[in-house]
Amino acid sequence: MHHLAALRPRPNPLLRLGRYQGFCRRDRCRRVRRVDLARYARQILLPEVGGGGQLKLSKARVLIVGAGGLGSPAALYLAGAGVGQLTLIDNDPVDLTNLHRQILHGTPDLGTPKVLSARRRLTHLNPGVRVKPLNKRLTSRNVDAVFKIQDLILDGSDNFDTRYLVNDAAVRHRVPLVWGAVLRWEGQAMTVVPGRSACYRCLFPEPPDPAVAQSCADGGVLGPIAGVVGALMAAEAVKVLLGVGVPLTGRLLQYDGRAARFRERAANRRGNCSSCGGRDVH
C-alpha cells in the first residue's frame, strides 16, 4: 500500500503559494504555468513582493540605456526578477576590452551588436521576459519616443552628454530614473523620482571640463565594481516598481571598492535647476 500511496498525486505546494500570496485568482490557479511559480517562488515569499508584486513586475516596462558594465548586471537581475519587458538601447558592438566587466557578453559575441548579444543572453536566462533591442544611439531626436512608453529608466551610460539627455527626458516625461556610474575602484548610484526628489542636474548642474573628465577607457575600471553598482541599480528599480522600501532619492550612494566602504552624500533639490526647477508633483 505504501508504494501506491507514493504514486498518488499530491497537492502542488507552489499552487498553494500562488493562492496564498495572490499570485493568481483561486479559479485560475491551475492555469498558471507551474514553472513560473517555481521560478519566482523565493522572491514571492518576500512580504514586500508577494504574488501581487510579482504580477506588477510581470507588467512593468523598463528601459536600460547602455548594455555595458552597468547595464549588464542590472539587466540580468531584472530579467531574473521577472520584469515583463526590457528595452535595451546601445549602438556599440561587443569588443574584447568589454568582456572583463560586461557580463552579458562572451567571446563568441565579439563584433555582435551589444543589444543583440544581450537579448540572446537574457532570453536564455528567462524566456518569459520580452527583450526589445534598439541598436541605435540615444539622441535628442529619438529620446521622447523611447521614454514615453516606459515605467522606469535605468541609465548605465558612460558619458555625460547621455546622462544629461536621459535625466532631462525622464523629468520631462515624469518617469522614475535610476542612474549609476563607475570609474577605477569607485562607483555611485542614485534614484530620481521626478517632481519629488533631486534630479541629476540638481546634483551636477554642469558637466565637468572635458580636459579633466575621464572615462573607463581612460582611467580604467575594476569589473566587480560595475557588478556591485549594477546590482544596486537593479534593486532600486525593483523597489521603485513595487513601491516598497526606501529608495535612493535625495541622496547619492558612493562605493569605494578599495576601502570596502559605502557613504552617502545629500542630494538636495535646487529651485533654479534647469531641468526640474525644484517643481513638485501633486
Q: In this predicted structure, what is the pLDDT of residue 213?
A: 66
Q: Which of 59-68, 104-113, 115-124, 271-280 has the lowest mean pLDDT?
A: 271-280
pLDDT in tens, 200-255: 999 999 887 776 666 777 788 999 999 999 999 999 999 999 999 999 999 999 99
Highest-confidence segment of 8-12, 26-30, 126-130, 156-160: 126-130
pLDDT digits (tens, 9 = 90+) for 3-13: 544 445 454 54
pLDDT attached to residue 27: 38
Higher-confidence residue of 148 and 100: namely 100
What are the pLDDT digits (tens) for 171-211? 999 999 999 999 999 999 999 999 999 999 999 998 877 76
- Cα–Cα distance between 229 and 257 in angstroms, integer? 11
pLDDT at 129 over 90: yes
What does the alpha-carbon distance between residue 280 and residue 251 come to, in Å, rounded to a whole number? 17
For residue 280, pLDDT beyond 80: no
CATH of the domain spanning 60-266: 3.40.50.720
Across residues 136-163, what is the average pLDDT? Answer: 95
Rounded to a whole number, what is the distance in angstroms from the first to the last CA of the chain? Answer: 67
Where are the chain's structural domains? Answer: 13-45, 60-266
